[in-house]
Amino acid sequence: MPTVELTDRISRADERALAVSALACLDRCLPLLEYVDGVAVDADAALRPLWEAAEGGEEWLGRLRQAAALVVRAVTQAESAPVTHAESAPVEVLRRAAAVPRVYAADELRTWAGECSAAALAVHRHLDGDRDGGPLATGELRRQERLLDLLAGDGDGLRAAFVQSTEGKRVLRAAAARRARRG
C-alpha cells in the first residue's frame, strides 16, 4: 500500500499529474508479465504514444483505453497459463490497475492513480520476496513520490517523469530476470 506521504501527494495532484503517474506505474510494471509466464507485452509500443501526448482529456483517455485493452489481454493470457499462486500475485494487481477511468475527471483519475500506485508497489514487493522494506519496493516508493513532485512543479516535468519511469522499468526488468534465472 502507498504510504501516507504518497497518498497525500496523490490527493493534491491535478488531473495531468494523476494520469501521468498512473501511466508511469503501468509502464514500469508491464514488462514483468514476460517473466511470469513468458507473456510478452510491448509496453513501449502500447504506452509510448500516451507519453508523447500526455495532454490529458477525453481523447487521451480514449487512447489509454486502447492501450489498456492490450494490457487486459496480456493479463488474461497470463492468468489462464499454469502458474503458481505466488507468480499470479503481480498479474492480479496489474489487472486492477488496467481498469482505466470512465471519464477524465480528478476523482476517477485519483482512484485509478491510487490503484496503479498500489499495483506497482505490490509488484516490487513481490520481487523483493514480499518484504515491505525491500530495496525494490523502497526504490519504487521513492520513484513514485519523485514523479509526483516533478509533475507538480513548473517546467518540463513530463520529460523528467518519463526518464525516471524508464530507469525504474530497467531496474524492474533486471530484478525479474534475476529472479527467473534463480527459478
* pLDDT one-digit tens code per residue, 19-76: 889 888 888 887 776 665 555 666 667 777 777 766 667 888 888 887 777 767 766 6
* Predicted model pTM: 0.84
Burial grade of 68 (CB within 10 A; 0-12, 13-18, 19 or more): buried
pLDDT of residue 75: 65
Expressed as residue numbers, the domain containing 144 is 4-182
Q: How many domains does the chain have?
A: 1
pLDDT of residue 62: 83
Contact by Cβ (8 Å): 28, 120: yes
